[in-house]
Amino acid sequence: MSDSSSRTGADGDPGPGRELVRRHGFGALLIRGGAGTGKSTALRERVIHLARPETGRPGLDPCRIALIASTDRTAAAHRIRLEDDLPGPYEALSVFTWEGLAEEILRHRPVEAGLGPSFEVVGAAERLAMLLARVDELPLRHQEIRGNPAGLLRELLIGIDRAKREGTDGGELAELIEIHNRILAAADLLDRNDLPRIATDLLADPALAAEVTARFPHLVIDELEDLHPARAGLLQRLAGAGPESVVAGIDPSRAIYGPGAEERFLAAFPDLEQFTLDEAWRMSEVRITAARAALGPGPLPEGAWEARGDEGSVRYWRPASARAEAQAAAREVEHQIALGTPPEQLAIAVPDVNSQGVGVVGALAERGIPARPGGGAALFRQPEVRDTIAWLRALTDPTDARAVTRALMRPPTELRSLDLARLTQISKRRKLDMISACEASLESPQMAPEARQRIEGFLNLYRAASGALDTRRPDAYVRRLIERIGFRRQRLFAARPETAERLLGLSRLAQIATDFSRRDPNASVREFTVFLEALADGGLEPVGGPDLPGVGAVPVMNLDLLKGGEWARIWVLGLERPFGITRNPGPGIGDDQTHPGGPETARVAVATALTSAREEVVLSRASEAEPDPVAAILEATGGLEEIQGEELFGPAEDVAATYRAMLGEVMEASWKAGSELNEPRLDTAIDVNRAVARYLELLKLAALAQRDDGSSDEEAIEAVNGLIAQVATPEQLAELDSSTLDPYLLAQERERGMRQGLADSRSEPSLDAFLPRRGDDLRLSATDLDMYLTCPLKYKFARVFGIPTPPTVNMRFGIVIHNVLQRFHELEQDVGRPVPDGEARLMALLEEGWRRGGFGETHDELQFLDRAREAMRAYWRSEEASESEPAFLERQFEFKVGPHFLRGRVDRVDRKPGGEFEVIDYKTGQRIDSSRHGGDIQLALYRLGAREAWGIEPEAGSYYYVLEGEKVEVQASPDDRERVERTVLEVGEGVLGQDFEPRPSPGVCGWCDFRLVCPAAEA
């Protein structure tokens, strides 16, 4: 074994290092080096060198040189570069990931490997969906499900994959792994992670191993740092068969599976040559200093990675909020694109793209910049994909009110809000599912003829689609549905910049259906719908997701997936957030340093980002985090954080941005009106006039954006309106009069994020008749106030439309606990003293309530029962120690605040030993953040209600967290009354003014019952 340090040259001038790689003869060679030292280029040059004829040696068929990488992204990048650089002809390049190489070997010898001749390989998303569909068969009794099996299973899959990489039995996960494998085997499917191990077993036969090395006598390995034990097993077999040459490049600072790769390679090839490429030819000092600081001591010792260039700067942001951060990134992206950088060369990375990506994509969309969000959730956030899922759900279950509602609200039916509210009213009053309500509405005098026509059209489509539901294969059915509903046609002519991404989304959905049908030709559309929902819940990228950035779109991606790519600039946002999955790691997972939430992943990912952009990297965090690589980087580089505040826009920029945002809306309105001209409906003239009015508004915006006469907004709007009035018809003018565009433009303090709401609200008729009222007064409760303040659109779905939602296991659980405690204290009040043996009584009431609550025997439900039993014990202990006694149970109050009518029901009111009263609200879910909405509203409202309605003056108010057996008092404050009244008036004004602007946020939308119908939850 020889060792040396060597220099490589800049592009076009290969130094001795790269020359050594290129010309290496027989045996193994290992090149060490950090990012930017030219390893990957040298490896590619070696492939080209071997393929080119030279004096005394014919060129080798490039198909016989296996280039192996760790990540799909790197393999794809190598393939593209080689296809550019290698002179043809050749059959197919042999560029693989390790799993791809294993699959290639197995496809040649499936029978010898004990596999079916056309075995199918599935990735993590498909496996997760399969596990979710059979969650009750899994040994999850001791894992915390908490009503969210998808989140737990995502975590467990990480543990399963790690066990497979390391070749262990998984310890505490062993039983789960066995069942996981059994489920896959029963469906004749292979886990991608199993491929290296199965190929290793196959190549135990020396003749077969020799056959592979005869096929690939030269191995070129990039990203050797990710040679985990399962991959190393395969490499050992190949080494044993004596390939002619093996050249591998390793960068220990980018190891995503932990250390040990170099030792494994040395074990396979003890007699190797090796050297280190020390110099990063183009990279600037600050980037390497920052990356070293992120990594901490270890992977690349001093002297082994030296900056020799001046490319690349690093900046740091401290944003005021996630929105401010997304806005700042979108602003800089827009600027870079204006300077000529292609959008796909600008990347935005976040720790968890599923939750953080929506805001970023939204900020880009506000500037008309197309984005390609990564992560599994992105596909399922696309409106047309959600429409297809809604249709499938509605077809397979007519009682699924949310799915039917979405199908009615979206093209081609586009039922107006007012008619939808009428429909949900019919459904509730007559106790009909939404499909039956649609049928009933055709006879209802409440429904306008135009609405009836739309509903009739919807029912025709529904009946036609439902007729074929049980006779077609899922792939044929989904493709037909997409065509029949017209999703592709609508998209094809929409002028929005993300059109290509949306069409791609639809074809990926069809591909998922094709893969599903291929795996199980007998599966039904109903089974596919269950699978698709599980896939959407899982939030992982299905197989076939895009590996390369789409041309013309900014990639918005998970930070730990940057490896293998290179961009001009990268903005790394949201670094205050924990990495990857935010759930606490479960048993068998938490001790893994390379877990997606682990500190090593964070360090390696940030260092990788710092070395993956040629021009600049921005690191942004709203606050310190744990782990916090940014703090160490700031210290090492002496960097300073730039403060980024939320933007309020100047008029000119605001008008231009509104113009861009409205472009797509105008094109879609004209497309829709055009289609109606072919098949006129009763309200076609309305839609045509509306489309023309939208176009006139676009003209108005174009005029305002380009004015340079120094006039005020008000003067300019008035002047343009005067001109428009000369050309528009009375109907179009009426449409323009009802538009909120002018007030919006004049209200300069309003955020740009309201623009979409503006577009939505302008086409909505008044819902006044459907607002919840008592007499003329608006009817509000503490839950209503909280819901409206959290998200007005959610309030609209729940309270104005009244879309029914099935109770979740958490809700049913809460109801049982409330009932048990009520009955227990009523018993006490009946006998006038503490119930003897209270704990046993509580338990008996719980068991009875549980049976009546319709709970079953799933792991999740049994876990809730365990927690309920424990909670009852804790409750009894706390009750025994309490000196207070319940004075009222489930007592209602009603009173007026201004013109609004407030009502509520207090779970319990205690009388303390000194005679003071305390209002108590039982909680069985998450802790209440009393600082939300400017201070606690619920208990303050209850205290006020007790005073106004019952004439008592509660001194205290508490939340009783029943599961933890802890009562938390919320201090009253002198301004409670004033605060409650202000809140009620504010919410009342919003509801009466029908301001139902969505307020999307990852923490709230993730649990929202109306995600399927909500346009703000879309890409």
Note the Cα 939 to chain centre separation in Å: 34
Least distance in Å: CB of 787 to ligand SF4?
A: 9
Residue in 131, 791, 816, 817 binding ligand SF4, rule: CB under 6 A:
791
998 binds ligand SF4 (CB under 6 A): yes
- Smaller CB distance to ligand SF4: residue 308 or 402? 402
Member of 130, 1016, 1018, 1019 binding ligand SF4 (CB under 6 A): 1016
- Among positions 29, 293, 617, 793, the unique one binding ligand SF4 when judged by CB under 6 A: 793
Q: Please report how close the Cβ of residue 646 comes to ligand SF4 at its closest, in angstroms.
A: 18
Give the residue, chosen from 794, 867, 933, 943, that forms a contact with ligand SF4 under the rule CB under 6 A.
Answer: 794
Candidates 391-399, 676-684, 690-698, 1010-1018; binding stretch for ligand SF4 (CB under 6 A):
1010-1018
Cα(340)–Cα(347) distance, integer angstroms: 15
Beta carbon nearer to ligand SF4, 246 or 1017: 1017
- The yes or no reply on residue 991 touching ligand SF4 (CB under 6 A) is no
Residue 239 CB, shortest distance to ligand SF4, in Å, is 54
The verdict on 1017 binding ligand SF4 (CB under 6 A) reads yes
**What is the CB neighbour count within 10 angstroms for residue 973?**
12
Task: Give the 3-state DSSP-derived string for 619-683, with helices as H, strands as E and coil as C.
Answer: EECCCCCCCCHHHHHHHHHCCCEEEECCCCCCHHHHHHHHHHHHHHHHHHHHHHHHHHHHCCCCC
Angle at 284 between CA 296 and CA 325, to 5 degrees: 70
Number of residues this chain uses to bind ligand SF4 (CB under 6 A): 13
Q: Does 787 bind ligand SF4 (CB under 6 A)?
A: no
For 780, phi then psi, to 5°, come to: -135, 150
Note whether 1008 binds ligand SF4 by CB under 6 A.
yes
Residues 6+ apart with CB under 8 A from 52: 59, 87
Name beta bridge partners: 908.
889, 920
Q: Could you tell me the smallest distance in angstroms from the CB atom of residue 778 to ligand SF4?
A: 20
As a whole number of angstroms, the distance between CA 918 and CA 909 comes to: 6
CA distances (Å), origin 494, targets 487, 508, 697: 11, 19, 18
Identify residues 411-470 at the interface with ligand SF4 (CB under 6 A).
Answer: none
Question: Residue 36 or residue 998: which is nearer to ligand SF4 going by CB?
Answer: 998
Comparing CB distances to ligand SF4, the nearer of 337 and 811 is: 811
Give φ, ψ of 672 to 5 degrees.
-70, -45
Contact segment (CB under 6 A) with ligand SF4 among 292-300, 308-316, 597-605, 787-795 equals 787-795
Q: Which stretch binds ligand SF4 (CB under 6 A): 150-158, 397-405, 735-743, 999-1007?
A: 999-1007
**CB-nearer residue toward ligand SF4: 375 or 849:** 375
Q: Is 505 in the site for ligand SF4 (CB under 6 A)?
A: no
The residues, any chain, with a CB within 8 Å of residue 1016's CB and separated by 6 or more, are: 756, 793, 998, 1000, 1005
- Contact assessment for residue 551 and residue 415, using Cβ atoms and an 8 Å cutoff: no
Q: Say whether 272 sits in a helix, a strand or coil.
A: strand
Closer residue to ligand SF4, CB minimum distance, 661 or 1008: 1008
Our CB check for ligand SF4 shows the closer of 770 and 795 to be 795
Spatial strand order in the sheet of 272-277: 2-6, 272-277, 27-33, 245-250, 218-221, 65-69, 95-97
322 binds ligand SF4 (CB under 6 A): no
Tokens describing residue 961? 């967290």
Complex with ligand SF4: residue 399 or 1001, whichever CB lies closer: 1001
**Alpha-carbon distance 651 to 641, whole Å?**
29
**Stretches 228-236, 973-981, 988-996, 1007-1015: which one binds ligand SF4 (CB under 6 A)?**
1007-1015
CB of 1005 to ligand SF4, least distance (A): 3
> Could you tell me where the DSSP H helices lie in 935-1019?
938-945, 976-992, 1002-1005
Length of the chain: 1019
257 is a site residue for ligand SF4 (CB under 6 A): no
Interface with ligand SF4, residue 1000, by CB under 6 A: yes
Q: How far is the CB of 383 from ligand SF4 (least distance, A)?
A: 13
| Cα–Cα distance, 506 to 486 (Å, whole number) | 11
C-beta atoms surrounding 940 within 10 Å = 24
Does the protein bind ligand SF4 through residue 1010 (CB under 6 A)? yes
First to last CA, the chain: 55
Is 369 an interacting residue with respect to ligand SF4 (CB under 6 A)?
no
Shortest spacing between CB 1015 and ligand SF4, in angstroms? 8
Smallest distance from ligand SF4 to CB 757, Å:
11
Chain positions contacting ligand SF4, by CB under 6 A: 791, 793-794, 998, 1000, 1004-1005, 1008, 1010-1011, 1014, 1016-1017
